[in-house]
Structure 1
Amino acid sequence: MIIITGGAGFIGSAMLYELNRSGHEQVIIVDDLGLTTPPKWRNLAGLRYVDFIAKDDFPALLERNALPGIEAIIHMGANSSTTETDADHLLRNNYEYSKKIASYCMQKEVRLIYASSAATYGGGEHGYTDGTEPIDRLRPLNMYGYSKQLFDRWAFRNGVLEHAVGLKFFNVYGPNEYHKGDMSSVVYKAYHQIRESGHVKLFRSHREGYEDGGQERDFIYVRDCTRIMAWLLENPSARGLLNAGTGTARTFRELAEATFSALGLQPSIEYIPMPETLRDKYQYHTRAEMQSLRAAGYDLPFTPLEEGVREYVCRHLMQENPFLDMHQNP
């Protein structure tokens, strides 16, 4: 039995699709379905799993040993809003909740794969090298990143990372993110802006050395993330903090151009001022160092940006079917 927390969310439901695609249906989903509009339950339609557990009920079930036969927990559940300002809420949901799951996995020798974040790297002044060596030097730029950093540090100091994997996800895009609102990917936002107005809005640069729209991110297609996690399930010797990116930085302008190209249109981009509240918390460059995952033995290629954007736009967004189900081609 595999448990996916946040299993109705973006990456969690895509991981369920990945498991179903390989014939694995002994999965329990843990989530809260009632907090988003449109509702997240649509991400689960057409996918196969044996049970659903409400997020708030899950820790108590673990404490009572009421869920026998667990082979692995894929812990994707968290508040992923980088603009969330309720620090207490983030500490409860992203830190304390994760500690309970990790403690259970340590006690029962259950494989744990959990979602950390590239937001822990802050402005990148200490680079983007994964592992535990730089863990205390990192300075996240927002409370979300700090909540993830807190758990990474706790997991390191309590020996969790000697057995588990924390994946530092970079900028993930792809099907099943339609419910994320302002936290949805720039591909999703760009597609809908083009459909509504024919234009895409990107932030101007407020830093020397970066052109407008020239801010860079390591964009990774969600399918590549689920393939990494599927590989980690099959390779329990891989452990520690590992980056989940492509190792390549691309600009927001290139991403917008790829979206226009997928639609068969010429680019039309409008540059707007970045809100002042974001300017001192904004990452201008991210690029995952991927040597650790490769050294662990992962050898699958990553989807090029243009290919991933085209597949996402043409196979999902243009079909008004922005979610994965087992009746679609993988």
Structure 2
Amino acid sequence: MYIVTGGAGFIGANLVQALNQRGITDILVVDHLTRADKFLNLTDLEITDYMEAETFLRLVENGHLKGIEAIFHEGACSDTMATDGRYVMENNFTFSKTLLHWCQRHNVPFLYASSASVYGMTGAFVEERAAESPLNIYGFSKFQFDQYLRRMWADLRAPVHGFRYFNVYGPREFHKNRMASVALHFFNQYRQDNHVRLFAGTDGYADGEQRRDFIHIDDVVAVNMHFLDHPHSGIYNVGTGQAQSFNEVAVAVINNLERRADHPAQNLSALQRAQAIRYVSMPEALNGKYQSFTQAEVSKLRSAGYAKPFLTVEQGVDRYVRWLAERPT
């Protein structure tokens, strides 16, 4: 059996799909369904069982978990604006430690979600302590678990892979609300209002020119599957290695929607862009906490054997908008 924590969520459900595509259906999904409509991420997938996280944790602690091939640990409180630090640390740090130790005792591969948020505003995105300075409790919880793992390297018995995801977008993220990718927000805004909203210039960047490393969920899943097949324990950045602007994401979304509406224009003119993209001030709550630039250093990932090219924003958005447009409304 394979276990996917957070399996009804965005990345987790896509991992379940990837396992299904390999003919694997003996899967236990662990999650919180306090938001019930997350179940929609699983209706087209095949799993053996579902379990709430608290029930699963008791199963682990009581030694009743057996016959496990690997654990994909994607479950976490992922709200970067969360203020209940105790809740975040229990879910993201303590729970992760319990699973890590269980996997080591039973020689089970452990693949878990870290986050690019561990880097904060350092401007460096390399998997080294000097580059890590998280800005919020979510980032701190991920950073602290990475640190905990680092102190165990010499004693590891089973493979452990930590993936510092950058800005992931793609299918099955509808439930994330404000935490969903800008690609999804732009898609919904343009269909509803015929324009999209981006942040005005900050940190020396022009309007909408803040840049992030946007990575399609298919690439994230491919990295996970690669290390499942070819274990190479480590903490890895999972991004494309190429930052692109929010303007580029918006234009890619709009161009794709326009083409699907059979409009003759294939690309936005300067006038059309001015009408379709509007800039708003950044909320006060984000001042001093907003990463205006991220770009993964992926040399460690490449050195560990992952050689597949990543989708660009233009390629990934085209794939995503096509999927969104085909969904029933």
TM-score (norm 1): 0.91
2:244 aligned with 1:247: no
| Structure 2 counterparts to residues 270-285 of structure 1, below 5 A | 270-285=278-293
Q: Which among 221, 224, 228 is matched to residue 219 of structure 2?
A: 224
Instruction: State the partner residue of 1:298.
Output: 306
Q: Which moved more, 1:15-24 or 1:185-194?
A: 15-24
Instruction: State the partner residue of 1:12.
Output: 12
1:46: Cα distance to partner? Answer: 1.4
1:157: Cα distance to partner? Answer: 1.3
Q: Which among 189, 199, 213 is matched to residue 185 of structure 2?
A: 189
Which structure is higher in RCO with an 8 Å CA cutoff and minimum separation 6? 1
C-alpha separation between the residues in 2 aligned to 1:144 and 1:220?
20
Q: Contact (CA 8 Å) 2:202, 2:292: kept in 1 or not?
A: no
Instruction: State the partner residue of 1:328.
Output: none
Instruction: State the partner residue of 1:151.
Output: 145
RMSD value over aligned CA atoms? 1.5
Q: Which runs of 5+ in 1 are unaligned?
A: 323-330
Q: Which among 254, 271, 294 is matched to residue 260 of structure 1?
A: 254
> SS of 1:263's equivalent?
helix
TM-score (norm 2): 0.92
- Judging changes above 3 Å, is the alpha-carbon distance between structure 1 residues 258 and 109 closer, same or farther for their aligned structure 2 residues? same
Q: Which among 61, 67, 73 is matched to residue 75 of structure 1?
A: 73
Q: Contact (CA 8 Å) 1:155, 1:161: kept in 2 or not?
A: no
2:125 aligned with 1:128: yes
Residue identity matched to 2:14: A
- Judging changes above 3 Å, is the alpha-carbon distance between structure 1 residues 300 and 161 closer, same or farther for their aligned structure 2 residues? farther
2:45 aligned with 1:51: no
1:25: Cα distance to partner? Answer: 1.5
How many residue pairs match? The answer is 313
Instruction: State the partner residue of 1:233.
Output: 228
The ranges of structure 1 where at least 4 consecutive aligned residues each deviate by more than 6 angstroms after the TM superposition are none
C-alpha separation between the residues in 2 aligned to 1:153 and 1:170?
19
Q: Which runs of 5+ in 2 are unaligned?
A: 260-267
1:293: Cα distance to partner? Answer: 1.2
2:28 aligned with 1:28: yes
Instruction: State the partner residue of 1:327.
Output: none
1:228-277 CA-to-partner distances (Å, cap 9, x unmatched) read 101111012x1111011111100000000000011126441100000122
Instruction: State the partner residue of 2:265.
Output: none
Q: Contact (CA 8 Å) 2:125, 2:131: kept in 1 or not?
A: no
Q: Contact (CA 8 Å) 2:211, 2:246: kept in 1 or not?
A: yes
1:301: Cα distance to partner? Answer: 1.4
Instruction: State the partner residue of 2:324.
Output: 317
Percent identity over the alignment is 40
Residue identity matched to 1:51: D
1:48: Cα distance to partner? Answer: 0.9
Q: Contact (CA 8 Å) 2:122, 2:131: kept in 1 or not?
A: no
Residue identity matched to 1:36: R
- Judging changes above 3 Å, is the alpha-carbon distance between structure 1 residues 59 and 159 closer, same or farther for their aligned structure 2 residues? farther
1:68: Cα distance to partner? Answer: 1.1
Residue identity matched to 1:58: F
C-alpha separation between the residues in 1 aligned to 2:328 and 2:134?
35
Residue identity matched to 1:227: A
